[in-house]
Chains A and B, each alone.
Chain A
């Protein structure tokens, strides 16, 4: 069994209440930080931990915190990104639903470290039940003296509020999120200035993902060095993986970084293998935005070594043979799934969610969707695959925010690795409407299950 830092007590009855959470050792990090550590010392521990942002980009959290500008007399803000809208990702919802105080505790300790006195948790508006849960948890923490004025008699003041979004994937992008929090449309801002200099209301601001903030709790309790002992290389600690698609046990798993992808998919501790006795065709390992890989490349690196669940190993091989850990949204496709259809579905998603500010993204995502739609429906042309690759290239790197890249990569990678399936749709317009292309040569090369010990 891997170590659990975030989900250790998830099955304890009543862990969603302050009382039980506290009995299980909750809020120790607040006491330790506020009573015995300076703000710089807290930042230093987070740096030592090697923690990297869990929202998708993987930027080192301690470093991000140390970039925060601290002009005299200007408010600073910590904003938690609980917009969680990346297809395939549902870990933040899980954490907030079952163990909300882990996030509240992390927010208090982190706000202290950054010198923030008002902090917001921006939750996507569809998560109204989670908003209610968090509001209740905040009220309980306040009642117990962990929020409000003069917390635990230390002189530190903090107010914490939950802010709902209203349905827009783009508001997960941190500057769009800040615009939305200011009561505007979610249009990403041109950077620089970065939020660390001019964020919410033009004040220095740190935006961090739910899981990142929750991870600050064990880091302060046990020390950054202890945290860094878990994991592999620059992928320290544990990571929540949202597993979905055609597996036996979909759900949220906390893994120690560095386990093999094979173990994650096939062992009973995690996904429990492919559902209905089928075989694995492909995986999107880090949420819809990252490149899709065929089974053989997700299980093994190009040199034949086993691929690991870590930032480095998943991206090994660059975009030729690798992918990315992203937000940890792990989507498995069995042999009966159509990669072409899923690529169209994702393209439709990005076209729908583009905020429309920059023309390569606005026009390009719509164009890719149309072309893919015609391929899926048996009216594609032989030149369409090259056209799609070309449009994807024109978008990539030419936009205000990374949504453009996020829309381009899934299309480009699907054509790179599954071109013959696209070709088959174009060559067999009628057959492709009745039958799937199948597994072809993407099969997982494993003698399934036999090689795995639990």
Chain B
């Protein structure tokens, strides 16, 4: 759901605005709405999530109605409509991964972080959630971390421990 109560003003940097213009140039004249999904990814990469104000700004840039942006942001699972942990561990929970232990691994991550799915740890660093098949079933279990969606394959409890330590010390 949209968090309309979040009213903090957002400012798009000149880099971000330049990126938006570059993306818009990929489509024919008048078809700038096509830039919506890629621009939302860019905005989320900067702010960590999509606030109502940031979406309104995108609507303004694309010269479309605010609701057209909300419709899209609420349909696609990659967009976060509220603030997240700094690192969101997205673990595949679909059939092929489960054949080789994805469910147990997700339980392990939950215990390790001491939070429920979609909750952030107290230090704000981590959260985790189950996602659907990531097209890496042969390297299962797998998880990814945005905004560049870095991939971690053939996971074990040990490799998860290591990953979490590495991210903490970054």
Q: Which residues of B contact A166 (CB under 8 A)?
A: 37, 40-41, 72, 76-79
Alpha-carbon distance between A333 and B137 when the two chains are bound, in angstroms: 13
Interface contact A288-B95, CB-CB below 8 Å: yes
Partner of A349 from B75, B95, B135 at Cβ < 8 Å: B95
Interface contact B94-A345, CB-CB below 8 Å: yes
Interface contact B100-A185, CB-CB below 8 Å: no
Interface readout for B125-147 with A: 1 if CB under 8 Å, 0 if not? Answer: 00000011111111110001011
Partner of A181 from B28, B34, B131, B139 at Cβ < 8 Å: B34
Interface contact A93-B34, CB-CB below 8 Å: no
Decide if B83 is an interface residue (CB 8 Å cutoff). Answer: no
Interface contact A87-B137, CB-CB below 8 Å: yes
Q: From B42, which residue of chain A is reached at the shortest CB distance? A: A164
Interface contact A342-B98, CB-CB below 8 Å: yes
Known: A89-B135, A126-B134. A182 touches B33 (CB 8 A): yes
Known: A86-B133, A183-B34. A126 touches B78 (CB 8 A): yes
Q: Which interface residue of A87, A169, A333 has the most chain B CB atoms within 10 A?
A: A87
Decide if B157 is an interface residue (CB 8 Å cutoff). Answer: no
Q: Which residues of B contact A349 (CB under 8 A)?
A: 94-95, 132-133
Interface contact B33-A250, CB-CB below 8 Å: no
Q: Which residues of A contact B94 (CB under 8 A)?
A: 87, 288, 345-346, 349
Interface contact B138-A244, CB-CB below 8 Å: yes
Q: Which residues of A contact B34 (CB under 8 A)?
A: 163, 181-183
A interface size (C-beta, 8 A): 56
Q: Which residues of B contact A353 (CB under 8 A)?
A: 132
Partner of A88 from B33, B72, B133 at Cβ < 8 Å: B133
Stretch from B13-21, B104-112, B148-156, B159-167 that touches the partner:
B148-156
Interface contact A169-B132, CB-CB below 8 Å: yes
Interface contact B136-A337, CB-CB below 8 Å: no
Alpha-carbon distance between A118 and B28 when the two chains are bound, in angstroms: 9
Decide if A168 is an interface residue (CB 8 Å cutoff). Answer: yes
Decide if B124 is an interface residue (CB 8 Å cutoff). Answer: no
B interface size (C-beta, 8 A): 45
Decide if A90 is an interface residue (CB 8 Å cutoff). Answer: yes
Known: A167-B77, A168-B76, A183-B72. A87 touches B96 (CB 8 A): yes
Q: From B79, which residue of chain A is reached at the shortest CB distance? A: A166
Interface contact A127-B135, CB-CB below 8 Å: yes
Partner of B76 from A92, A125, A252, A345 at Cβ < 8 Å: A125
Q: From B40, which residue of chain A is reached at the shortest CB distance? A: A166
Alpha-carbon distance between A87 and B96 when the two chains are bound, in angstroms: 7
Decide if B55 is an interface residue (CB 8 Å cutoff). Answer: no
Partner of A333 from B99, B144, B150 at Cβ < 8 Å: B99
Q: From B133, which residue of chain A is reached at the shortest CB distance? A: A87
Question: Which residues of A101-141 are within 8 A (CB) of B?
Answer: 118, 124-129, 132
Q: Which interface residue of B37, B41, B76, B79 has the most chain A CB atoms within 10 A?
A: B37
Partner of A93 from B28, B76, B135, B146 at Cβ < 8 Å: B135
| Closest beta carbon of chain A to B39's beta carbon, Å | 9
Interface contact B136-A87, CB-CB below 8 Å: no
Q: Which residues of B contact A180 (CB under 8 A)?
A: 37
Interface readout for A331-353 with B: 1 if CB under 8 Å, 0 if not? Answer: 10100010001100110010011
Known: A164-B37, A201-B28. A90 touches B72 (CB 8 A): no
A sample of 22 inter-chain contacts (CB < 8 A) reads A89-B133, A89-B137, A90-B137, A125-B76, A125-B78, A126-B149, A127-B149, A128-B149, A129-B148, A129-B149, A168-B75, A168-B77, A186-B75, A244-B99, A245-B100, A252-B138, A329-B96, A345-B93, A345-B94, A346-B94, A349-B94, A352-B132
Write the residues of chain B forming the contact surface with A, with a CB cutoff of 8 angstroms: 26, 28, 31, 33-38, 40-41, 62, 64, 68, 71-72, 75-79, 93-96, 98-100, 131-140, 144, 146-151
